[in-house]
Amino acid sequence: MSVNQHYDVVVVGAGPAGLNAARAAAQAGARVAVLDDNPRVGGQIWRQGPGHAPKAPLREVHAALQAYPNVAVWSSVRVVAPLAGRALLLESAEHGGMRIGYGQLILATGARERLLPFAGWTLPGVTGAGALQALIKGGTPVREERIVIAGSGPLLLASLATARAAGAEVVAVIEQAPAASLARFTASLVATPSKLMQAAQLTRGFVGLRYWSDSVVREARGAGRVEQVTILRGGREVTLACDRVACGYGLVPNVTLAQALGCALDERGAVRVDDTQRTSVEGVLAAGECTGVGGMELARTEGAIAGWVANGAPHDLTTLRAQRSRWQRFAERVDTAFALGAAARALPPADTLLCRCEDVTIGDVQAYPHWRDAKLHTRCGMGACQGRICGTAASTYFGWPAAQPRPPFQPAQIATLIEAGESASVQAQ
């Protein structure tokens, strides 16, 4: 291995949870490493890019970490596999294969979008709602483009604000949740004034915007790329002309590494943790969206708790636990308001692709009783994403348990795997 180091605490993920976990762990003098596969820290919520400078909370926590000589931040590094003896196999463009050991491991791996297929969803110009944000922050120009943002949840509003700020024309926001649920949720924001203000800022009070509730995308059409999208709205179909469609049905916890380590999941498919953010595996903690999608404030709080617990130093967690409870209640209200309805869960036509990697359709997998059989007979989930997209969709449509990951989690150089050697063999699944 090019690098073979050991740290007291290793944090996987440099979003709000991971950065705050690293700061708390470092305050007691622990030697800390933060790993992230992006070139810049911040995660999806605090993503940086051309024309998108770091936000104040990110600048503050990043500056604090830079002041600690006992903290190392490794960017553009991917976790390839867990290794025996509390170690991880990593790979980066700069260093190639690396092995890193840890005393305590904090998983702050965040969440990913739930993409539900519809006719035409593979056309160029169709992305997830969060993916649209990432593209814009990464420098993709969208000025004067007509964009339809669809799916469900608060992420749609964040994508709306990002697209507008970049000069796009947002044709409509299409929300699957019914109006009554949205009204109750809006009224509940009185309990969290900061969220009420944030919603007003993101939407500009919905002035000049078509915000359609109880509506879902049915089909995208175009010659070579998306040109129009058909929406099912209250039992009737409406077609809108557009240049882009950004459609995402909320977020699901990113638990790939946690599952590979043997961490137990809860009924939501999130990493199960106790009151101190410890998982079912000794020496492994988890914080943020991988333990349940709850927003930036909850992620920061859970990260701080995990960091203090991991460093082993005495610390009064009373205030942090109270903050965590407050934001957990908010997360529960979000889950209730934006729960997927029957229209969002309805199967698309049988010839719609489910697995883009292996060109497997909805009809191809419908004949099988569970994910394993579908995978064996159709190769569904055997492509580069290893079922992250199609497995989540299949779970939503058919109720199948989430696909079990197998290392390597990402495409890796054969030299990285060879160099790992028998002493760092991948744990058996």
- Please name which of 204, 220, 215, 202 lies closest in space to residue 146, comparing C-alpha atoms: 220
Helix or strand holding residue 221 (H, E): strand 215-221
What values do phi and psi take at 304, rounded to 5? -60, -40
**428 has a pLDDT exceeding 50:** no
Phi, psi of 420 (to 5 degrees): -55, -40
Tokens of 334: 């979000």
Q: Give the CA dihedral 275, 281, 287, 290, nearest 10 degrees.
A: -120
Tabulate helix, strand, coil % of the chain (nearest 5). Answer: 35, 25, 40
Domain parsing of the chain, residue ranges: 3-112+252-315, 115-249, 347-398
CB 16 within 8 A of CB 289: no
Coil, strand or helix at 346: coil
Average predicted confidence (pLDDT) for the chain: 90
Cis peptide upstream of residue 154 (ω within 30 degrees of 0): no
What would the mean pLDDT of 227-237 be, rounded to a whole number?
94
Q: What percent of the chain has pLDDT over 90?
A: 67
Mean pLDDT of 133-151: 93
pLDDT band, residue 56 (cuts 50/70/90): confident
Give the predicted TM-score (pTM) of the model.
0.91
pLDDT digits (tens, 9 = 90+) for 246-301: 999 999 999 999 999 999 999 988 999 999 999 999 999 999 999 999 999 999 99
The answer to whether 133 touches 159, Cβ cutoff 8 Å, is: yes
220 bridge partner residues: 229
C-alpha 383/C-alpha 153 separation (Å) is: 28
Cα(21)–Cα(74) distance, rounded to whole angstroms? Answer: 15
Q: Same CATH fold, 115-249 and 3-112+252-315?
A: yes
Cα separation, 169 vs 20, in Å, equals 36
**Which CATH fold would you assign to the domain 3-112+252-315?**
FAD/NAD(P)-binding domain (3.50.50)
User: What pLDDT, in 10s, does the model give residues 74-98?
Assistant: 989 999 999 988 999 999 877 788 8
Q: What is the mean pLDDT of residues 130-153?
A: 93
Distance separating alpha carbons of residues 378 and 374, to the nearest angstrom: 6
pLDDT band of 427, cuts 50, 70, 90: very low
pLDDT of 429 over the 60 cut: no
The pair of structure tokens assigned to 183 is: 């009204």
What is the pLDDT, as a whole number, of residue 205?
64
CB neighbourhood size of 187 (10 A): 10
Q: Is 38 left (phi over 0), alpha (psi -120 to 50) or beta?
A: beta
What confidence category does residue 225 fall into, taking pLDDT thresholds of 50, 70 and 90?
very high
* Closest to 409 in 3D by CA, of 376, 387, 377: 387
Name the H helices within 243-286: 256-261
For residue 197, the model assigns a pLDDT of 82
Cα–Cα distance list, 280 to 12, 215, 343 (Å): 17, 40, 36
Angstrom distance (rounded) from CA 111 to CA 293? 7
Coil, helix or strand at residue 311: helix
Secondary-structure class of domain 115-249 per CATH: alpha beta
The side-by-side arrangement of strands in the sheet containing 228-233 is: 215-221, 228-233, 236-241
**Residues with Cβ < 8 Å from 187, sequence gap 6 or more?**
none
According to DSSP, the β-strands at 96-107 and 244-249 are unpaired
CB 126 within 8 A of CB 228: no
What pLDDT score does 421 carry? 64
Question: pLDDT value at position 327?
Answer: 93
Q: What is the pLDDT of residue 1?
A: 45
